[in-house]
Amino acid sequence: MAGIKGKVVVITGASSGIGEATALMLAERGAKVVLGATGSDRLKAVADRIAKAGGEAAHAKTDVRRRGDVTNLINLAPERYGRLDVLVNNAGIGPISPLDDLRVTEWEDMIDINIKGVLYGIAAALPIFRKQGFGHFVNAASTAGHKTVPNQAVY
């Protein structure tokens, strides 16, 4: 974590789980975090917790299935803090059900969030990184996506 102080980091899926923990840890170590998630109340609570601890956090309600939401979140970093150092593509879902339940809507949501959401983040951040001459992507993934497990065939 050396060198994280003062860096500007955008995190999707930042209102709970790994995204929340990442935001809190990075802010504690001096990063300026820009948080996105669909749960506005929880998102604001994380940002408030960071601010109360002396950190800096901006946030925007973000549904990564919507390219415009992702673009707005990414653009909030340079608007608020002058640059973007890191994008953490963390938002994701892993619906669990037998394949023969045919929960096609859940499959579509998973593809839209876990795949297209990541690509939308890259599409929004890459031009900023190129213009700045620097930037990093961190794309979270689950080991469950690399092995076959009962009731997770689609994942």
Q: 154 falls in which pLDDT band (50, 70, 90)?
A: confident
Q: What is the residue-wise DSSP string for 27-50?
A: HHTT-EEEEEES-HHHHHHHHHHH
Give the mean pLDDT of 140-144: 82
pLDDT tier for residue 56 given thresholds of 50, 70 and 90: very high
In a domain, 1, yes or no: no
**Residue 54 within any structural domain of the chain:** yes
Could you tell me if 10 and 88 are in contact, meaning their C-beta atoms sit under 8 angstroms apart?
yes
- Residue 1 pLDDT: 52
pLDDT digit string (tens) for 79-112? 999 999 999 999 999 888 898 999 999 999 999 9
For the segment 22-32, the average pLDDT, to the nearest whole number, is: 98
% residues pLDDT > 70 (the chain): 99
Instruction: Output the six-digit token pair for 12.
Output: 């999707």
Q: What is the largest CA-CA distance in the chain?
A: 50
**Buried-state track 78-117, b at ≥16 Cβ within 10 A, e below 16:** eeebebbbbbbbbbbeeeeeeeeeebeebbeebebbbebb
149 in a domain, yes or no? no
Q: How confident is the model at residue 153 (pLDDT cuts 50, 70, 90)?
A: confident
DSSP code at position 98: -
Any domain includes 5: no
What CA dihedral angle connects 120, 122, 128 and 133, to 10 degrees?
-170
In a domain, 147, yes or no: no
Residue 2 clears pLDDT 80, i.e. is over it: no
CATH number for the domain spanning 122: value is 3.40.50.720
155 flagged as catalytic: yes
In this structure, is residue 6 part of a structural domain? no
Indicate whether 22 belongs to any domain.
no
Compute the distance between CA of residue 30 and CA of residue 85 in angstroms, rounded to an integer. Answer: 13
Q: Is the pLDDT confidence value at 134 over 60?
A: yes
Residue 72 predicted with pLDDT over 80: yes
pLDDT in the model for residue 123? 98
Question: What domain count does the chain have?
Answer: 1
pLDDT at 40 over 70: yes
The structure's pTM equals 0.95
Determine the pLDDT at residue 141.
87
Q: Out of 81, 120, 129, 155, which one is annotated catalytic?
A: 155
Q: Note down the domain range covering 89.
A: 27-141
Domain assignment present for 133: yes
